[in-house]
Amino acid sequence: MGRGGRHRGRSQRKDFKESRENVWKRPKSDASVDGSDNAVPEQKPTWEPIVTVNPNFEEYYKEQGVVKAEEWDLFMEILRKPLPAAFRVNSNGQFCNEIISTLENDFMKSLQAEAIEGGELEAIKPLPWYPKNLAWHSNFSRKEIRKNQTLERFHEFLKLENEVGNITRQEAVSMVPPLFLDVHPDHFVLDMCAAPGSKTFQLLEIIHEASEPGSLPNGLVVANDVDFKRSNLLIHQTKRMCTSNLIVTNHEGQQFPGCRLNKSRASEKGISENMPINQLAFDRVLCDVPCSGDGTLRKAPDIWRKWNSGMGNGLHSLQIILAMRGLSLLKVGGKMIYSTCSMNPVEDEAVVAEILRRCGDSVELLDVSDKLPELIRRPGLKKWKVRDKGGWFTSYKDVPQNRRGGVLVSMFPSGKNLKDSTETMQKNENGDLNGSEDGLKETDVPVVGATPDEQAEEISDLPLERCMRIMPHDQNTGAFFIAVLQKISPLPEFQEKPNTKRNSTAKSTDLTEKSLSKESVVTVDAAVPDGSAVEKVLEADSNNEKDDSLEPEKKITEGESITEDKEANSSNAGGKRKVPMQGKWKGFDPVVFVKDETVVNGIKEFYGIKDEAFPLHGHLVARNNDTSSVKRIYYVSKSVKEVLQLNFAVGQQLKIASVGLKMFERQSAKEGSSTLCPFRISSEGLPVILPYITKQVLYTPMADFKLLLQDKSIKFLDFVNPQLAQKATDLVMGSCVVILSDGEEPVKVDASTIAISCWRGKASLAVMATAADCQELLERFAEKIPKTDGGSVNGSNGDLGGPQAMETA
C-alpha cells in the first residue's frame, strides 16, 4: 500500500463533498418518485435527514444556562454536525514513534486537499492538550472515513493499526478523565463502569508507560462492568494491550466487593494473616457513570428524538450510589474521577454536591484548573433548576408531595429544604424529626401560602466551580463533565458500606437501556412504565446487608456465560453442556493457579526460562479445574496474583470474567507435537516473555523474515540463507520464536526487537500469528506489499498461518 500523497479527480472530490453533507441521512422505507400513490418506487433508496430538533432539549438547557445566550446558536449548530473522528496512539506500542511520524509526515499532507474541499483548514491534527502528540483529531466523521474513496488509504491505515493494538479509536473528550487521575505504575486502579474499554486501555497504557523498561508494573487495573455482553467487548478491546496487569470483573458497580479478609474466619480456615493484602482497596478510581448521554448527540443523533429531562432524573440516585461506593473502595489519599457524558446538572453538579455533603471533610473536590491548560473547559455550575413533568422547581420546598417520589432533595443546589425547620419539620410520635437520607420523608408537606417571591434560585455554597464542563463548540468535540475528588480521611462510618435502603427515585418517562447512550455506559435494567431504572437495581441491594458478601446472580444462561471454551459453549446451546462455576458464580469458568510441576517445569525447560529472571511458579493460571486438559495458560503479574490469593481467601467474592495475559496454548498436533512441552507461546504473550527465552530461538535476516511473513510457511530448503536450514533443523520440533536480526548471531532483546511465534515441523517452519500482525510488520518493511482483493497478504484469509489443522485451542 503506497505511503505517498495521492491526488483525486474532480469527480471524486464532488462525490466526497456531497457525501459530507449526507452523513446524517437515513433511507425512507416507502419513498416514491413523485409522492403520488400510483408512483413507481425508485430502485435506489432516497434519503431524509435524521431529526436534530427537540424543543424540550432546547428549552431545558436554555433555562439551565449551560452556555451564554450569545453562544446558543453556535452551540446548537455544532451539536447538529457529525462528530469528527479521533484516535489515540498506544504509547507502549513497539512502533509508536513510526506511527506518529507517518501521521505527521504523510497523512497531514496527503489529506490536506480533501480537507480544504470540505471546508476545513486541516485534515488531521494532534490534540493540543494531549501529551506527546499521542492523540489525534480528524475533521472527518467516522462514517466519512469509512465510506469515501478519497479517504480509503487513511481508513485502511486506521483499521490495521487499531486491529493490532497500535491505535485506539476513541472520542476526544473520552480521553480526558484518565489524564486527570494522575496514575502511577504502582497504583491499584478501579474502572467501575469500564465497557467498552477505551479508558481502561488508556489507564493500562499509563501504568505501563511509567514503569521501568523491561519490567512489569507493580500496579494493576480492575475493569468492571455490570452488563454481561459489554464485558465481552471490554475483554476484546483490552486484549490488544497484551498486559498481565488486568482483571475484568462483572459486578454491579454499587455492589463491587471490597474483599475484606476477616482475621477470625481466616484463622478458622487455616489462612495466613500475613497475606500481602487483606482488603481490595484502590489508589485511583474512575467512576464514569451511566447517564442520559446527551453529550454524545453528535455521534448518536438518535438521542435527539428520545431525549427528555426525566432521563437524567431517573439516573440521579444510581449515580450517587455508584460514586459513594467508589469512594468507599478508595484508599485514604487516593483520587477518584466522577464523570458523565451528559450536560445535565442533575446528573453532574448535583451528584458531586450530594457526595460532598455526605462525606463532609473526608472528601475534597480538587481544583485542577492548572492541569492541561490547552484543554478548553468551563467551570461547574453553582445554580440550576429541576424539571419534572413539565414543571420547573428552584427549590425542594416548592415540590408538591405527590412529586417527591421523583424529585429528590439531592437534585437541588442546596441539597436541603430551605424552610425554617420549625415550620417544615414535624416531629413524629417518638419526638424525632422526620427525615430520610435526602433530608425529608414523602410525608413532609410544604408550608401553605408560599409566595412566588420565595421561589428564588438556590446557589450552592460548595466549590462546584472546580468541576469541569467540556462543551462541543469550544474545541469541536462532544460534551463531557469531570470532577476530581480526593479522599482526605476515612468516610463517615455510615457511608463506608453500600447503601442498602431502597431510596425513593425518579420515575423515568422514557428511560430504556438504549437511552443510556454513552461510550462507557453501564447498562442497567430498563425502566418499566411508571417505574425508575434504578429501582430494579436497588431491589437487589435491599436484601443484601453485608458489604463483602454477595449473592450469585440467579439467572445467567449458558449462552451468556463467559467461558474459556467458546466453541463448546456454542455447540451445546441446547443446554446439555455443564454450566461452569467460578466459586459461587454460575456461568463463569473458575480461575485456578497452575500448580502441576510437570507442566510448569516442562515449559521452563523447553524454552530455557530461568525462574529467578521470570518466575512462572505462582504466576500461571488456567480457567479449568483439570490441569491435564487445560488449553490455555495465562500469566498474571505480582499484583494480580496477590488479588487472586485474597479473592480465594474471602470465598471468591470477585466474579472474574478475564484475568492475566494468554501466554501458552496447548498444541495438540498429531505431527510435530513435542512430548516435552505441548504448549506453544501465544502471540499475545510473546512480547512479555521474549527477553527471558534462551532456547527454541532462530535469528533470521530480513530477507527470510519477510519471506516467512508473506508465505506463512517455508520449507527449510527454501530459505534464502542456506545456513538457516540447518539451524532450523537443530531446533526441537514444536513451538519456537523467530527474531529479526541483521546477522545470524543472537541479539540483545529489547523494546525494539521484532519477533514472531512459529512452529517447527518435520521439514518446515510455519508462522503462528494473525494475518493482521503479518500485514502490519510487512508494511513496516516495505512501501508496497501485494494484497489480494480480500485485503490479506498473499492470499492469507486472516486466520492463523501455517499448520492450521493443528489448531484446537
Phi, psi for residue 569 in degrees, rounded to 5: -65, -40
Tell me the C-alpha distance between 65 and 148, whole Å.
Answer: 39
Give the cell for residue 303.
Answer: 438521542
The rounded distance, in Å, linking the Cα atoms of 158 and 145 is: 10
pLDDT at 249: 95
Give the mean pLDDT of 44-62: 82
* E-only strand ranges, 660-720: 661-666, 679-681, 697-700, 713-715
Q: Taking 50 as the threshold, does the pLDDT of residue 379 lie above it? A: yes
Q: What is the pLDDT of residue 672?
A: 45
Whether the per-residue pLDDT at 221 is higher than 70: the answer is yes
99-114: burial string, b at 16+ Cβ within 10 Å, e else = bbebbeebbbebbbbb
Residue of 270 and 122 predicted with greater confidence: 122
Listed residue (252, 387, 251) closest to 316, CA to CA: 387
**Euclidean distance between CA atoms 429 and 450, whole angstroms:** 27
Please state which of the ranges 133-147, 204-218, 494-508, 719-733 shows the lowest mean pLDDT.
494-508
Q: Is 18 exposed, middle or buried (0-12, 13-18, 19+ CB in 10 A)?
A: exposed
What whole-number distance in Å separates Cα of residue 674 and Cα of residue 660? 26
Which DSSP helix (H) or strand (E) runs through 75?
helix 72-79
The pLDDT > 70 percentage for the chain reads 70
Most confident region among 79-88, 462-471, 673-682 by mean pLDDT = 462-471
Residue 752 confidence class, pLDDT cut points 50, 70, 90: confident
| pLDDT tens figures, 338-369 | 999 999 999 999 999 999 999 999 999 999 99
Least confident of 414-418, 442-446, 753-757, 772-776: 442-446
User: Nine-digit cell at 649?
Assistant: 481467601
Mean of pLDDT over the chain: 78
Q: Is the pLDDT of residue 790 over 90?
A: no
Catalytic residue among 242, 259, 287, 341: 341
pLDDT of 115 reads: 63
Claim: this prediction has a pTM higher than 0.75:
yes
pLDDT digits (tens, 9 = 90+) for 694-750: 999 999 999 999 999 999 999 999 999 888 999 999 999 999 999 998 766 677 888
- Under 8 Å between Cβ of 451 and 443: no
Which 3 state secondary structure label does DSSP give 635?
strand
Higher pLDDT among residues 504 and 65, named by residue: 65
Mean pLDDT of 762-770: 91
Instruction: Based on the residue annotation, tell me whether 341 is a catalytic residue of this protein.
Output: yes
Question: With 70 as the cut, is the pLDDT of residue 522 above it?
Answer: no
Tell me which of 165-169, 205-209, 343-347, 561-565 is least confident. 561-565
- What pLDDT does 583 receive? 73
Average pLDDT over residues 186-196: 96
Report residue 584's pLDDT band, with 50, 70 and 90 as the boundaries: confident
Give me the pLDDT at residue 506, please. 36
End-to-end CA distance of the chain: 33
Mean pLDDT, range 657-673, rounded to an integer:
79
Bind-site residues for S-adenosyl-L-methionine: 193-199, 225, 288
103 φ/ψ sector (left φ>0, alpha ψ -120 to 50, else beta): alpha
pLDDT of residue 269: 63
H or E segment and range at residue 757: strand 755-760
Rounded distance, CA 126 to CA 642, Å? 39
Predicted pLDDT of residue 279? 92
Q: Is 773 a residue whose pLDDT tops 60?
A: yes
Write out 327-384 in H/E/C secondary structure.
HHCEEEEEEEEEEECCCCCCCCHHHHHHHHHHHHHHEEECCCCCCCCCCCCEECCCCC
Q: List, in order, residues 6 or more apart from 8 with CB less than 8 Å away.
A: 16, 113, 114, 149, 150
Could you give the CA distance from residue 477 to residue 497 in angstroms, rounded to a whole number? 38
Cα within 13 Å of Cα(264), Cβ side? 0
What pLDDT does 744 receive? 60
Residue 101 has pLDDT above 80, yes or no: yes
Cα 501 from chain centre: 30
Which of 239-243, 325-329, 415-419 ranks highest by mean pLDDT? 325-329
What's residue 44's pLDDT?
Answer: 54
Q: What SS3 state is found at 52? A: coil
Per-residue pLDDT at 486 exceeds 90? yes
Bridging pattern class, strands 220-224 and 246-249? parallel
Residue 73: what pLDDT?
Answer: 96
Whole-angstrom distance, CA of residue 122 vs CA of residue 116 = 7
pLDDT score of 443: 35
Which residue(s) pair with 659 in the sheet? Answer: 247
List beta partners, residue 481. Answer: 340, 469
For the segment 2-42, what is each residue's pLDDT rounded down to a tens digit? 334 433 344 444 443 443 344 444 444 444 334 344 444 55
If 0-12 CB within 10 Å is exposed, 13-18 middle and 19+ buried, where does residue 749 land?
Answer: middle
The label of the residue with cell 486438559 reads: 629
Ranking 116-130, 232-246, 595-609 by mean pLDDT, the lowest is: 116-130
Question: Letter for the amino acid at 611?
Answer: D
Residues in the chain: 809
Residue appearing with cell numbers 510435530: 672
In DSSP notation, 436-463 reads: -TTS--TT--PPTT--GGG-PPP---S-
Angle at 136 between CA 134 and CA 139, to 5 degrees: 175
User: Residue 532 and residue 526: Cα distance in Å, rounded?
Assistant: 8
pLDDT score at 581: 76
Decide if 714 contacts 674 (C-beta within 8 A): no
Q: What is the CA radius of gyration of the chain?
A: 29
List, in order, residues 6 or more apart from 484 with CB less than 8 Å away. 180, 181, 335, 336, 337, 365, 366, 368, 466
* 109 pLDDT tier (thresholds 50, 70, 90): confident
Query: For residue 679, what are the β-bridge partners?
Result: 666
User: What pLDDT score does 496 carry?
Assistant: 57
Q: Cell triple for residue 414?
A: 442546596
3-state SS of 509-524? CCCCHHHCCCCCCCCC
